[in-house]
Structure 1
Amino acid sequence: MTYEVYAIKYAEQTARVRGDNYMFDDNHDAPDPIDFYMWLIRGEGRVILVDTGFDAAEGQARGRPIRLDPGEALKPFGLQPEDVTEIIVTHLHFDHAGGLHLFPNAQLHLQTAEMAYATGPCMCHDALRFPFTVGHVVEAVQRLYSGKITFHDGDSEIADGITVHRIGGHTKGMQAVRIRTQAGWLVLASDAAHFYGNFLHGVPFPIVVDMQDMLDGFATIQALASAPKLVVPGHDPLVRAHFPAGTAEHVTRLDVGPLTDPTL
């Protein structure tokens, strides 16, 4: 059993430099844009969304205007937001959980450690709190009280051929997703590695709660994949250059493997 996997780009930020994306970078003021994605897994009659992006109001508030509403971005797949019944939430930062309210019928898959982190004493620190938006966290809590969260502790199976793995580092409950595809085991790193350069060269991303977990996680996500080229970083525009285009301009197909090897 293999699955189709797609990266769905809904926003970008071009006014960004390497110092925003890589710690200890000598060329810290060089331009280095970032893309914002969510991902779709489908096969065997199941459709699973990985993360939800953020909406126009959140983009306006944070100076990151979206190109496409996350719900609208699913139209090439014949899906409406109400059709989505399962969402793997890799972590609760605004750009990954900012669209939870758009998918009211979805059961969420979340690491126990992430809920504890986003609602616990770590949020007393401005530096750890700023990538979260309280309304998104409240939405997750409301899902909990509605019986619409399935918690996972560490490694866990979502379905045959789809597993989640707590990596940590970026947040306490940061999780990656491993999927069996025709190209082999594909890993959606999400923010366990924002860019190819983070995990390929062992260079941390600046937003981090546990540096050792982040660095150890770079090795873990590569070990989970059949090959390093099948690790898909969470925000790198190069994903769209290495993997083939999907059926719409904002869609990239991942399960067939890259056209060019990003690790070379």
Structure 2
Amino acid sequence: MKYQVIPIYNGSFIITLASGKNFFKKSIKIPSFVFLLKSPEGQNILIDTGFEPSSLPGSKSTYERKPEEELVNALHNQGIYPEDISAVIQTHLHWDHTGGISYFPKAQIFVQAGEVKELLNLPLYAETAFCARHFMPALSRFTLINGQKEILPGIEVHLTGVHTAGHQVVTVDTEEGKIAILGDALFDYGEWWKNIPEEFWEKYRQGRGKDKFWPPSTREEIKNFLLSRQALDLPSPSPASPAQIKKECKYVVHSHDVRLLKEQTSF
């Protein structure tokens, strides 16, 4: 099966965690892309669902998005409506990749089991990176993958565990060759988090960030979901190497790829 892969630009954002002081080394404008896969038979699949502005973490974060860059509008420009999306593949569950899940209530959602399991072990501050209200209403539609698997003809997912515990890279067969969609596998923000003192999180939680933390019942709901899928105690498979995946593919793109702003618009 050969797919057409179309990057969909969803706007850009700048994350600033504190007024008057930014704990990150530098603030940059980050473009955000989702990827539309179109099969010859008319099947339409999305990789990730972009960001929702109200979920931006940080007290002074900003975003830019034109009306035509809203995800539903951008899909309309491709002749696609939300009900036409049969599946969503989430590279991971960070806030800037799950913002549009609610637009696709009929879609099957492919996620690594390790990504969901790790939600039970997050430190409190990391809740701000995983917006529970994006994905919790869709848990019943999650199809859990454990490692590498061809989930549809011509589409494989590969657990990398880079960036998040259950991050997955997607490879897709196209007429021009295999393309690797890396999600955020190139980025490790661990050192950035370490720069933020604990007292900041408590102040943020009590102030402008209070809506960025989870309701008390969320972890119990996740645990019950994993139990219902017999996934709570799944052994973790060996991760794949993003570098090796890149070598095996003709094209490589990622979710914040600035090249896609001005280069090839489809593969």
TM-score over 0.5 for the pair: yes
For 1:14 and 1:98, the matched residues in 2 are separated by: 16
Corresponding residue for residue 3 of structure 2: 3
- Judged with a 3 Å threshold, the aligned counterparts in structure 2 of structure 1 residues 65 and 3 are, in CA distance, closer, same or farther, namely same
3-state SS in 2 of match to 1:54: coil
What are the residue-to-residue correspondences of 1:215-226 with 2, within 5 Å?
A: 217-226=241-250
The one-letter code sitting in structure 1 at the alignment partner of 2:6 is Y
Partner of 2:123: 124
Aligned to 1:247: none
Match of 2:55 among 45, 55, 58: 58
Instruction: Give the aligned partner of residue 94 of structure 2.
Output: 93
Q: CA deviation at 1:73?
A: 1.3
Query: SS in structure 1 opposite 2:93?
Result: coil
Q: Distance in 1 between matches of 2:243 and 2:254?
A: 13
CA distance, structure 1, for counterparts of residue 190 and residue 253 of structure 2: 19
Q: Which amino acid aligns with 2:46?
A: L
The equivalences for 1:236-251 within 5 A come to: 236-241=257-262, 243-244=263-264
1:234 is aligned to 2:235: no
State the partner residue of 1:198: none
User: Number of paired residues?
Assistant: 210
Please say which of residues 105-114 and 66-75 is displaced more in the overlay. 66-75
1 CA distance for matches of 2:173 and 2:106? Answer: 26
Deviations 1:89-148 (A, max 9, x none): 111111111111111111101111111112x12x2341x33211121231232xx2xxx2
Q: Which has the larger radius of gyration?
A: 2
Listed as ranges, the gaps of 5+ residues in structure 2 are: 17-21, 192-238
Question: How is 1:76-115 mapped onto 2 (pairs within 5 angstroms)?
Answer: 76-115=77-116
AA of the residue aligned to 1:90: T
The alpha-carbon distance between structure 1 residues 234 and 182, as it changes in their structure 2 partners (threshold 3 A), is same
SS at match of 1:154: coil
Change (3 A) 1:168 1:101: same
Letter in 2 for 1:234: S
Amino acid at match of 1:236: D
Alignment of 1:1-264 (within 5 A): 1-13=1-13, 29=26, 32-45=28-41, 46-58=43-55, 63-67=62-66, 68-118=69-119, 120-121=120-121, 123-126=122-125, 128-141=126-139, 144=140, 148-193=141-186, 204-207=187-190, 217-226=241-250, 230-241=251-262, 243-244=263-264, 252-253=265-266, 255=267
User: Partner letter of residue 70 of structure 1?
Assistant: L
Distance 2:65 2:95 in 1: 13
Question: 8 Å contact 1:71–1:81 — kept in the other structure?
Answer: yes
TM-score normalised by length of structure 2: 0.70
- Note closer, same or farther for the CA distance 1:137–1:168 as it changes in structure 2 (3 Å cut): same
Encode CA deviations 1:216-259: one digit per residue, 9 max, x unaligned. 74413313413xxx110220212333x32xxxxxxx21x1xxxx
Distance 1:180 1:60 in 2: 35
Instruction: Check whether the contact 1:117–1:172 (CA below 8 A) recurs between aligned residues.
Output: yes
Partner SS, residue 139 of structure 1:
helix
Q: Is the 8 A contact 1:98 1:136 kept in 2?
A: yes
Shift of 1:13: 2.7
Distance 1:106 1:216, change over 3 A: closer
Q: In the alignment, which residue of structure 1 is the partner of 2:220?
A: none
- 1:35-92 CA distance string (max 9 Å, x none): 0011000113211111111234335985335433211110122111122121111111
Runs of 4+ in 1 over 6 A off after TM superposition: none
Cα distance in structure 1, aligned partners of 2:169 and 2:242 = 11
For 1:14 and 1:63, how far apart are their aligned partners in 2? 5
Secondary structure at the aligned position of 2:88 is classed as: strand
1:15 Cα offset (Å): 7.7
Query: Which shows bigger deviation, 148-157 or 52-61?
Result: 52-61
Letter in 2 for 1:11: G
Aligned-residue RMSD, C-alpha: 2.8
Structure 2 contact 101–135 (Cα < 8 Å) conserved:
no
Alignment-derived partner of residue 262 in structure 1: none
Q: Which amino acid aligns with 1:75?
A: H
